[in-house]
Amino acid sequence: MSWSTATEAEPAVRREARLLVLGFAFLALSAASLAWAWLLHRAAGGGGAPAFLLLVPTWAVAAWLLNRALDRWLPERDPLLLPCGLLLMGWGVLAVGRLLPDFGARQLAWFVAGVAILYEAARFRGALIWLRRYRLAWLLLGLLLLALTLLFGTNPSGGEARLWLGWAGLYMQPSELLRLLLIAYLASYFADRLMPGSDRPARRGLFAVLLPLLVVWAVAVALLAVQRDLGAGTLFLALLAVLLFLVSRRWEALGIGLLLVVAAGLVAMDLSSVVRARIETWLNPWSDPLALSYQTLQGLMAMASGGLGGVGPGFGRPEVIPAAHTDFVFAAIVEEWGVAGGLGMIALLAIVTARGLRAATRARQVYSAVLAAGLSIAIGLQAVLILGGVLRVLPLTGVPVPFVSYGGSSLLTTTVSLALLIRVSAESSAQPRFARSIRRVHTAGLAAWAVLALALGWWAVVRGPELRQRPDNPRPALSPAGESSPGDTSVARSRSLLDPIGGAKV
């Protein structure tokens, strides 16, 4: 790196460091509020200190270590990706630990593993080459692991959806890994088949170029459908539609992909009672507030209880929501951090997506460009799907909130995506890649984030008084704020997490 390049990179490096300091301050204040709530509970005869409060010093060491490592190996990286990603991960550990302390301790362990992945990805220069060179082997491994869940699948929580593989007390969800491997395969596939000197395939024979890719994607979606993992299946189909539009620049590709998503949803409604229940709940959650719509309505009431500023970390009752640590972690966060916290989380996810797309346009190689675009779009789509479901903008799909929801498979896979985005962002090219189509995708993304923000304001502020006063809102009858410990699940145990609209993936 030349002296001039290093000089230009210095402001970005300092910017990243300042953002990490701000992130640490936010997490420290949040942890202090949780600790105060725990002290109040302890004074009333509560249990021991939750281990997840160790997050703050752990996060500080991780931020310092990664900042130093990236300064050394990737000085020209994007300065926003690491602070936003780390803050979301730390926030997730606090939110999960506040609900279920044992799960929070596990999530903290996965956070440490994710930091190790980020460190090694920064140090290993051949990460992108390695992923591309063995693309077929990685893809077959992902499909094999997903297929094995049909025979040896299990559910750590004891539910019906057997979407995990377990060994020696550790569990992984192959669909999370397969999504990343499919994106890497698609990036490599297109990079080898684009017209020389161009970043788009020839219009003649486009279907022949796409056919093998469509077959691979169809196999993956079929395996997910057999497992009834419809959330991941919806995400895979939507991701394929957007990526085909990105590379081909043809609206027909996007239209066909979206039609496939709708068709798959209609077929699922016909074959699955759970999907029908979710659609009915989405359209009219008020008809059955104590059964089918319980989870959805409790999520809306939680956000209404939070209002603009929230009741304070540790002082709400988000444990009333079934699966609050997974599918509905966003609602739990809004209850205690308020609309301000919800908008902050939406903004962080939007920034990671936007900066990843920016890195794609500046990538030196077509492979890196498609990979970065695919990873960014996957993060954005996943966030829009689950936040849209919680906010009743979309039917509930049951995918995790990227970086935030409980789960080692989700957190580690998303961390790998973040590491690859940071590495691609350190590249620079004089020729923008897919600039026009990425700009269109980015514009659509901005519209989606805006809709989510408006929906949050609608439920938490405009409809807030009505939701707080509903007779089926249990919060007014529960113990006052501060008398329940962060992690007290006595209320949550009164309802099964496997309600028809509950948090179990189906």
Task: Give the domain extent around 219.
Answer: 3-494
Q: In this structure, what token pair is assigned to residue 177?
A: 């890994």
Asked whether residue 506 is assigned to any structural domain, the reply reads no
Q: What is the mean pLDDT of the chain?
A: 85
Asked whether residue 502 is assigned to any structural domain, the reply reads no
Q: What's the chain's length in residues?
A: 506
Q: Cα separations (Å) of 306 from 427, 441, 456?
A: 42, 32, 11
Where is 310: in which H helix or E strand?
none
Asked whether residue 450 is assigned to any structural domain, the reply reads yes
pLDDT band for position 184 (cuts 50, 70, 90): very high
Cα–Cα distance, 389 to 386 (Å, whole number): 5
Q: What is the mean pLDDT of residues 158-167?
A: 76
Q: Where are the alpha helices (DSSP H) in 44-168?
A: 55-73, 81-99, 101-123, 127-133, 135-152
pLDDT band for position 204 (cuts 50, 70, 90): low
What pLDDT is attached to residue 117?
94
Q: Which of these ranges, 6-10, 162-166, 249-253, 351-355, has the smallest mean pLDDT?
A: 6-10
- Overall number of domains in the chain: 1
pLDDT band for position 430 (cuts 50, 70, 90): low
Q: Which of these ranges, 42-46, 173-177, 369-373, 396-400, has the smallest mean pLDDT?
A: 42-46
Q: Cα separations (Å) of 500 from 292, 297, 369, 396, 505?
A: 6, 14, 41, 12, 10
Of the candidates 346, 344, 337, which has an alpha carbon nearest to the alpha carbon of residue 302? Answer: 337
What pLDDT is attached to residue 212?
81
Model confidence pLDDT, tens digit, residues 246-291 = 888 878 778 877 787 778 777 777 767 777 888 888 989 998 888 8
> How many Cβ atoms sit within 10 Å of the Cβ of residue 424?
28
What pLDDT is attached to residue 33?
94
Asked whether residue 501 is assigned to any structural domain, the reply reads no
The answer to whether 360 and 423 have CB atoms below 8 angstroms apart is no
pLDDT band for position 4 (cuts 50, 70, 90): very low
The amino acid present at 200, given as its one-letter code, is R
How far is Cα of residue 56 from the mean position of the Cα atoms in its chain?
A: 22
Q: Is residue 159 over pLDDT 80?
A: no
Model confidence pLDDT, tens digit, residues 46-94 = 555 677 779 999 999 999 999 999 999 999 999 999 999 999 999 999 9
Q: Report the chain's terminal Cα–Cα distance, integer Å.
A: 50
Q: Which of these ranges, 117-121, 164-168, 216-220, 367-371, has the smallest mean pLDDT?
A: 164-168
φ and ψ of 327, to 5 deg:
-60, -40
Model confidence pLDDT, tens digit, residues 329-345 = 999 999 999 999 999 99
What pLDDT is attached to residue 214?
81
Q: In this structure, what token pair is assigned to residue 89?
A: 């991960």
Asked whether residue 55 is assigned to any structural domain, the reply reads yes
Model confidence pLDDT, tens digit, residues 360-376 = 999 988 899 999 999 99
pLDDT band for position 348 (cuts 50, 70, 90): very high
Four-residue CA torsion sign, 408, 276, 295, 347: positive
Asked whether residue 505 is assigned to any structural domain, the reply reads no
Q: Is residue 482 over pLDDT 70?
A: no
Cα–Cα distance, 150 to 25 (Å, whole number): 45
- Using DSSP's 3-state secondary structure scheme, residue 171 falls into strand
Q: Which of these ranges, 102-106, 130-134, 204-208, 253-257, has the smallest mean pLDDT?
A: 204-208
Contacts 24+ apart (CB under 8 A), 270-278: 272/228, 272/230, 272/506, 273/500, 274/228, 274/500, 274/506, 275/230, 275/506, 277/500, 277/501, 278/395, 278/396, 278/501
Map tokens 């750590």 to a residue.
Answer: 156
In the 3-class helix/strand/coil scheme, how is 356-423 assigned residue by residue?
HHHHHHCCCCHHHHHHHHHHHHHHHHHHHHHHHHHCCCCCCCCCCCCCCCCCHHHHHHHHHHHHHHHH
Q: In this structure, what token pair is assigned to residue 4?
A: 């001039």
Asked whether residue 504 is assigned to any structural domain, the reply reads no
pLDDT band for position 178 (cuts 50, 70, 90): very high
Cα–Cα distance, 73 to 119 (Å, whole number): 10
Cα–Cα distance, 349 to 169 (Å, whole number): 31
Q: What is the mean pLDDT of residues 12-28?
A: 94
Of the candidates 178, 184, 187, 153, which has an alpha carbon nearest to the alpha carbon of residue 236? Answer: 178
Asked whether residue 286 is assigned to any structural domain, the reply reads yes
What pLDDT is attached to residue 372?
96
Which carries the bigger pLDDT value, residue 233 or residue 457? 457
What pLDDT is attached to residue 48?
54
